[in-house]
Structures are given as C-alpha cells and as structure tokens.
Structure 1
C-alpha cells in the first residue's frame, strides 16, 4: 500500500508527482476515509492495484489518474469533487447509505457507484437488540445509579422479553435478523412490510399484519424502513396514539422516521413507557427534551460501528474494485453505467414509460406482492427489452427500499424481497405500434396497466385494470374509484375546490351503468393526506389513490 504523508510540499503535489512518475500500468485507488486495514488487505495482494490513502478534501485542483475512490460517510462526493478526478471510473462506499455521494452526477459522468449492503447488517441488528434489552431492564440507568453510590434495586425493576409481542416495521435484512433473535427469546413477532407475503412470513416464523394492527398489538415497536417521503414522520402523534399504553419504541434505522417532538410528548404523558434511539432528525443531537428523560436511551449513531462491520464493508468494497479492475461484473452496483446519448435516445420514450408504469403499479398495490410481469407488443417486442423490464421494476421499488434503486441492482433487490419477475414479447396485432403491459400479482389481488408511446403524442396510459382509459401521466394525479351515480364527479370537484386544488384534466370510465366507475384527475399540486382522507369519506367513493409520477 502506498500511503502519502504530508511534508514540505502540498499533499496535492505529492500525489500528483507520484501518479506522473509511475510509468507502470496501474489501477489507482484513492482511500479518502479511514478504513480497516484488514478489510483493505485484498487490494494489497493484487499487483496491478495501487492504493493511496489521502483525504479528498485536501485536493483543490484536478487530480488525473485516480481510477477508483473509496469513502465511508465523512467524505462528501459532490459534482465538483467528481470533476476533480477526470479519470474516475468507480466509487466504493464502505457501508450501505449513499447520502454523501451525488449518485446522479456520478452516473452522468459514467462513474459506477457500489456499496456494501450486507456488511453492517449483523452489527445494526445486535445493537438494536442490545438497546431493546437495556430499555426493558433499565440497565444504563441502574449502572449510573450504582456508580453514583446508590443501591436501589426496587427502582430499576424491569420486564422480560419472554412472551412479549415485538412489532417490526420493515422486514429487510436487518428486520429479518431481529425477528430471528426475537423468536429465540420466545417473543411473538408481528411485521408490517408492504412486500412481505404470507409464504415468506411463515418461513420466517412471523405474522404479517397491517400497520394499524402492529401498532395496536406490539409491546415493543422497532422501525427498520428507509427514510423516504412515505416514511418521514411515520411514527407521529397519530400513530403513537394507536400504540398500546406503556409500550416501548426503538429506532436504529434512520433519523426522521420518528417525530421526536411527538415521542417526547408521549413519554411525558405516559402513553409510551420508554424509547431507545440511535438516529435522530438532526445529528448531532441538539437541545432535545429527550436528553433529560430517564426512560430514554440514546446512542450517537453507532449501530453499525463495530470492528467486524468495518472490516466487512471494507472487504466487500475491496473485492468489488478488484473485480472491476479485472474486467469482471460488480455485484452491488447502485447506478446504471454510462450509455452513449444516441443509443439511449432511441429507448428513452419506452424507458420513461416503463418507469412511470412501475411507479403507478406500486401505488395501486398496497398488499404484499409476489410477481411482476411485463409484456411487450408491436415493434418494441422485436428489441431486447431487458432494460425496460428493469426500468419497470425500478419504478415499482423506488421510495420503498432502504437503498438507491436503479437498473443495475433492482434484480438483486427484487430477489431479496421475494418478488419474482418475468417478461414476454408478442407479435400479435393490437392496433398500436407499440404496447407495454404490466401485471402485478399479490396474495389475493391483481393489478394491470397498459401504456404506449410514440413521437406524436408521447406517453399514454390506455387501461387500468378493467377500465379503459386514455390519459398522459403527469406529475400530480389522483385516481378515484366510485359507484356510478349522478353527482359524484360534482362532489369531488367541489371538495377539491375547498382544499384549493385545481383540476387540470379529468378522464372518466365505467365498467357498467350504475356499477363501478373511475376518474383520473390531473391536478396542479400534490394532494395532501388531509384532502385524500376527506375524499375517502365522501359517499359513493370506494378508493382514493394519490399518484406522484
């Protein structure tokens, strides 16, 4: 390993001189954050790889000759930082999250971003379980009491895990590992996860349930979801009020999922008996009332900070870089490699259509999903449609998975979540030059969507389940299923008007007179949860789905 240390000349000049004076063909890796030496060991065994340890922050001028960059969470890889390394081909994130990397800017430059999604699973799981046990047995508080000279056994009477119901929100890698340990403690485990099928739940020995049921029945609730629009503030005053009085709450996932003001109020009122947090809305934690509450355990975002986890993530990234340097495929790529503009322009209309169709299917399917299939008809069926199918999957999983989802890693994510996928192509006449159909299969529900695209009228959706339709996907849309009776459309328009929502377009359809009907509205702004709730309460309306495409 080549380690460059500061001396009488600038760090930039030291590294640049090294790159320019070495005439051998090397694959050069810049390690910008401190990493486990054991984890980096695989890189040292490869003769054609050179490793330089130096913080990226020390370079203010372009640094050609860097082929790969390894970072943890400290280094922020911005668009400007990428411009400093014109020869960069790959960024390795020694960890899971990529919040500190501008992935879109990297994609634009043709730089592949990889991470180590499995490296800290066990560490985070064990930390969560340790927090749970400490919370139930008042261990930090008892420790502090004894150290201060007290001996008050009665004050720190705790509760057993045995027989308690553990509610888990999110059943990815970490959630499933926690469930396995909870079962060993003979706890009952209930899980809310939109992608958890009954078959997978049975195999894991847990009970799949609605969010409301998990909230109401859990003695202890732990959160393991991504921080996306749908999960920000998921645990708030309303959801906490549905929890058992005296329940316990843990969050070792992402800051912002729990409304900390609502949590503090619930602890103060006695609605919740205690909480344990490793992540916060703003870090480091500032002047929060949670600091002063004895029934709260706080740790400084250290769930993944173990020697073993750091070795593992460094090793995974090292192995990815070795594979890439030798011309092999990377396993955990987070973005799609650069495609020449002319080539991508040819598939862009269908690519964008597939992504939007996947997003819409995801919004309509709020039940566990088993399979997603994509069918192609017309001229598009003569092409290799693998990329388009992956685009549909990407749209389906976007904002539902705790990682950056794209064409490269979506197949892996789909397999991990137990969602199978398939595609088929047909030359049958449909009346359209090109046609794409998506069918999503749940445990007791199917959803289908058909769309098309051409240069004259752009993207259009033609069918939603059994409803014929003909509308363009737009940024803010609203689907309403209702009984076909006079006055329903007027009631919807009036209600939206009182909520200051302007309707741009409306498309209506029905299965039969007096039967089920639908309307698809394009509106000028995002529909709030309050507006959607008011619509749902309107007589004759069966279902309301807010679509952000």
Structure 2
C-alpha cells in the first residue's frame, strides 16, 4: 500500500506534485492545521505530515497519530512541534534548514540598513507630506563593527555580506573553531568582548535554555553606548522589557526585530518606540524561499517513506539515500542482534550495552546502526519502539550505551558485536552481512557459528554430549515443525554447546516441554525476528 501524507498548511502545488510523482498518496488540506480538534481526529490515517508554522503538533495530536512515521517542517523553526513527544512516539521530525538561509540573512542585512538610516520612520514622515530631512540623521555601516551571535548557516552568510559592506565582523559562537573563523574572515571573541565592541549586534541562534534572553538586562548594560540590535532569529533571545528601557534611556540607539517573544505580536513593549523597526516574522518570506523549503520538505519526506533515507532530522541521525542502500542489510543485522539480546534478557533489566564495530562496519553511520540495535533490544519490552524512540527509552531506563570501533581483525570484512550487562550476567552475540546481503549470526556467547536469520528460531544450550541433534530433530518432527536450517557450535569438546534452529513456524509449547523432559538441555528459548 502506498504511503499517505497529509499537508495541513499552505505548500506549493509543485511540492504536492512531488509526492504524487513519487507514488505517494497526498491529502492537501492547507487550512486543516488551524483546527487542532479536526487534525487530532484524522491524523491516525497518515504516514507523513507536512506543515509550515500554522499547524501545532502537540502531544495530544501525536497520541492519535497511530500510523505517523515522519513530520516534515517546511522551514527551519520547529517550535510548533512537540519533539520529545514525537520521539517517544517514534516519529521522525525533519526540517529544511538550508532552503531559506539566504532569504533570512538578507532580511537581517536589510533590517540593519533600515535601522541605521531610520528608513521606515523617514518613509512614513515623507508619505505624510512632511520634509524632515534634518530629523533623520543616520550612520554608515562601512567601518563599523558588527557583532554576530551565532555564526552557523545563516549567521555565516550575514558575516559574508557584512564583510562585503566593509564592516569589521566579530563573532561569538561556542561551536566556531579558529580555523573556520579565519576562513570566514571574522574575529572569534567571547560574548562580553562582542558586547563591548559592537556597533551593531545581530542574533542568529536557536532558542534554547542556554540562549534564552542571551541579551538580558545585564548583558545589554555591557553593550557599547549607541549600539543597534537586530533580531531576525527567534523571539525570546532578547529581554524585550530591558531593551525597551535601554532604548528609552538612549543607551541603545535603535533596534530592528522580525521576531518576538509572543507571536503573532499584536502588542509588544517595543512597538512605537523611536527608531525601532518591526516586521511580522518575514525572515523566510520570499517567493524563492517559500518554494525552496516546500520542495525540499516534500523530497525529504518522500525519500524517507520510500527508501528509508533520513535527511535533516532533529531526533534521529541522518542517513543519505546512498547510505541507506549500502547500510540497509547492516541496519537489519543490528536490529536482529538487538532482538536476540532483548529476547534472551527479557527476565531481567539491562544495565549497559556495549557495541563493537569491526572493519567495514566501523566506517558506516554508527549512530544509525546504534539506533537500530537499541531498537531491537527495546522491542522485547515494547513492540512499538523504533529507531527514533529507542535511544530515548534506553536513556529513561538508565541504560548506558558505549561504542567501540576497530580495524578489520579477523576473517570477516566487518562485523558487529553487542554485549549487554544485567545485574547477574553478561550476554553477547556477533553478526555480519555476507555478499548475498543476508545478515548472519557468527558468534553467540563466544562460540563461533554460522546461522542464517529466520522469522522463527529456537535457541538451546547444552553440555556437548551425543544425541542432541537427533533429539532436536525428532522432537521437531513429532510436533510438525519443519527445520529450514540447523546450526551447532561448541566452545571445546565436552564443554558448553549451543544449537540455533531456523524453523518454518512457531515451536509449540508442547515441543519445548518435551525437550525439557529429556534433561539434556540447560536452556530452551523460542525466538522471533522481523525479517521483512
């Protein structure tokens, strides 16, 4: 059955057509996002949800999203999505961080010009029939110091444009390395130095606990007298009450805001103050940007629903379409390894998971493999767990996850080995992918084997004595269970041995009871794997 996507905000017809061209069923209801009750009522029918900013994806909406796999936000901001609830539900949240970068950066530069030359007030005055040429004395940008808080994608473009305007650019960004700063032609500084030196300050960071009110009353007091402040990033980055006081006192000469702490902003303490330029969140509002992000989100969602490729996800590691092709069997192997461990330890809590990647496996997207493996383990606890929700569930349960990489160390081109620790023991299993693309188990409890993975399997342990093969074969036959593949392994002759049977159906409880009656087996465990 073809995936089904709901578009609940206004996206272009070209974006809608992308879904259709890829064979995805689309329900285009651009005003539905404004009706949260109706959205909650119908969301369970869809595999994907494409939105802009009008749709609010709340925990209540997600509770009803029984089939939802991905939410695509056409744009960069995801404040309107409960990402924690989405992660717990196993829903990928994607955005399009690059589609409107140029537009947003250009708006910040435009706002800087507007506040530097008091263009809106001068325009209003002139429209009113006044000719107040001497009233609107501006300042040049050339030679001035621009302080950029956040030198990432959009901030980096602003830095480039400002240098073209012959401004001196200083940047504060904890993630900006010195080599990158040198390449950008900006001076990397701490926040306090930026505040004291900048003639203009522009913000380009997301709203987080660390950045909320980064321009607080205390930090505004540290700024250079006559500074002008531009915010085209997120409301809440500046203490608006404190900024209003600084504007009234003359310490801050002007401000240009496209975003506000509460939106839509019908009232705000900054409104109607002298030399304050305000626009209604227009940063991404150009024809080109709106089209770009709409097309991009449609492509990303279609790629995920059809190929498993994950791009620009906020709650899961990204996997390109090329990686998805190569890694598909390895992701499946990781899930099988996790499922084996999870089913074997369903009677006691897991304290720690260590994953070893050897050879070619160590060069892959390990975050994605980790997520798949942890999901396999967690499914024994909750069948609804997937790659998105599993890491969060593991973290909530206090499970420590560690990863080790190593170069090729044996006969296999690469393999994955997982070891889990419980309060009483450790369990381990290793696997690889053969040239036929099929995952194989190659080691259990340190004992080497070569076992194909089937939907239904039976795992037994025993002392290495004669008669095990015959007993297993006869018992399965007596109960109508056909054996597709039979794998044996032992540590040493006469020591501990294991058997792994790939069978054509569920092993009945009666058959397992019959095996137990023989007294030959230390452990008898039916296993099930999702091999689709």
TM range (shorter): 0.5 to 0.7
Matching residue of 1:206: 186
Q: Output the TM-score relative to the length of structure 2.
A: 0.61
Q: 1:79 to 1:238 in 2, by over 3 A?
A: closer
Matching residue of 2:57: 77
Q: 1:185 to 1:381 in 2, by over 3 A?
A: same
Cα distance in 1, alignment partners of residues 85 and 116 from structure 2: 45
* Deviation of 1:112 (Å): 2.0
Cα distance in 2, alignment partners of residues 344 and 153 from structure 1: 78
8 Å CA contact 1:390, 1:407 repeated in 2? no
1:34 partnered with 2:14:
no
8 Å CA contact 1:39, 1:310 repeated in 2? no
Q: How many residues align?
A: 356
Q: 1:390 to 1:96 in 2, by over 3 A?
A: farther
1:514-541 Cα shifts (integer Å, max 9, x gaps) = xxxxxxxxxxxxxxxxxxxxxxxxxxxx
Q: 1:289 to 1:327 in 2, by over 3 A?
A: closer
Cα distance in 2, alignment partners of residues 167 and 312 from structure 1: 29
Matching residue of 1:331: 311
Cα distance in 2, alignment partners of residues 285 and 219 from structure 1: 27
**Match runs of 1:144-159 below 5 Å:** 144-159=124-139
1:166 partnered with 2:141:
no
SS in 2 for 1:155: coil
Picking from 232, 247, 256, the partner of 2:227 is 247
Cα distance in 2, alignment partners of residues 390 and 267 from structure 1: 51
**Match runs of 1:444-523 below 5 Å:** 455=422
**Match runs of 1:308-323 below 5 Å:** 308-323=288-303
Cα distance in 2, alignment partners of residues 98 and 389 from structure 1: 26
8 Å CA contact 2:256, 2:277 repeated in 1? yes
* Deviation of 1:80 (Å): 2.8
* Deviation of 1:424 (Å): 4.1
Cα distance in 1, alignment partners of residues 196 and 278 from structure 2: 25
Cα distance in 1, alignment partners of residues 352 and 203 from structure 2: 37
Cα distance in 1, alignment partners of residues 95 and 262 from structure 2: 24
8 Å CA contact 1:41, 1:315 repeated in 2? no
Cα distance in 2, alignment partners of residues 229 and 133 from structure 1: 30
Cα distance in 2, alignment partners of residues 65 and 233 from structure 1: 40
Matching residue of 1:294: 274
Matching residue of 1:175: 155
Cα distance in 2, alignment partners of residues 348 and 178 from structure 1: 49
Superposition RMSD on alpha carbons, in Å? 3.4
* Deviation of 1:157 (Å): 1.6
1:375-416 Cα shifts (integer Å, max 9, x gaps) = xxxx6547888349989xxxxxxxxxxxxxx989xxxxxxxx
Cα distance in 2, alignment partners of residues 88 and 389 from structure 1: 22
Matching residue of 2:98: 118
Of the structure 1 ranges 342-351 and 199-208, higher mean CA displacement relative to structure 2 is found in 342-351
* Deviation of 1:98 (Å): 1.7
Cα distance in 2, alignment partners of residues 43 and 343 from structure 1: 37
1:342-378 Cα shifts (integer Å, max 9, x gaps) = 6797897557xxxxxxxxxxxxxxxxxxxxxxxxxxx
Q: 1:195 to 1:100 in 2, by over 3 A?
A: same
* Deviation of 1:45 (Å): 2.3
**Match runs of 1:104-503 below 5 Å:** 104-336=84-316, 349-350=351-352, 381=356, 386-387=366-367, 424-425=405-406, 455=422
Matching residue of 1:466: none
Which consecutive unaligned segments of at least 5 residues does structure 2 have? Answer: 318-330, 372-386, 390-402, 408-419, 425-532
Q: 1:208 to 1:60 in 2, by over 3 A?
A: closer
Cα distance in 1, alignment partners of residues 99 and 77 from structure 2: 12
Matching residue of 1:499: none
Q: 1:167 to 1:44 in 2, by over 3 A?
A: same
8 Å CA contact 1:120, 1:310 repeated in 2? yes
8 Å CA contact 1:67, 1:87 repeated in 2? yes
Q: 1:60 to 1:43 in 2, by over 3 A?
A: closer
Q: 1:139 to 1:199 in 2, by over 3 A?
A: same
- Higher alpha-carbon Rg: 2
Cα distance in 2, alignment partners of residues 302 and 261 from structure 1: 22
* Deviation of 1:226 (Å): 1.6
Which consecutive unaligned segments of at least 5 residues does structure 1 have? Answer: 1-24, 352-378, 392-405, 409-421, 427-452, 458-549
8 Å CA contact 2:355, 2:404 repeated in 1? no
1:84-140 Cα shifts (integer Å, max 9, x gaps) = 342222211111122222223323333222111111111111111100001001100
Q: 1:343 to 1:106 in 2, by over 3 A?
A: farther
Matching residue of 1:49: 24
Q: Output the TM-score relative to the length of structure 1.
A: 0.59
* Deviation of 1:242 (Å): 1.4
* Deviation of 1:304 (Å): 1.2
Picking from 57, 63, 71, the partner of 1:91 is 71
* Deviation of 1:279 (Å): 1.1
Q: 1:287 to 1:60 in 2, by over 3 A?
A: closer
* Deviation of 1:219 (Å): 0.6
Q: 1:390 to 1:186 in 2, by over 3 A?
A: farther
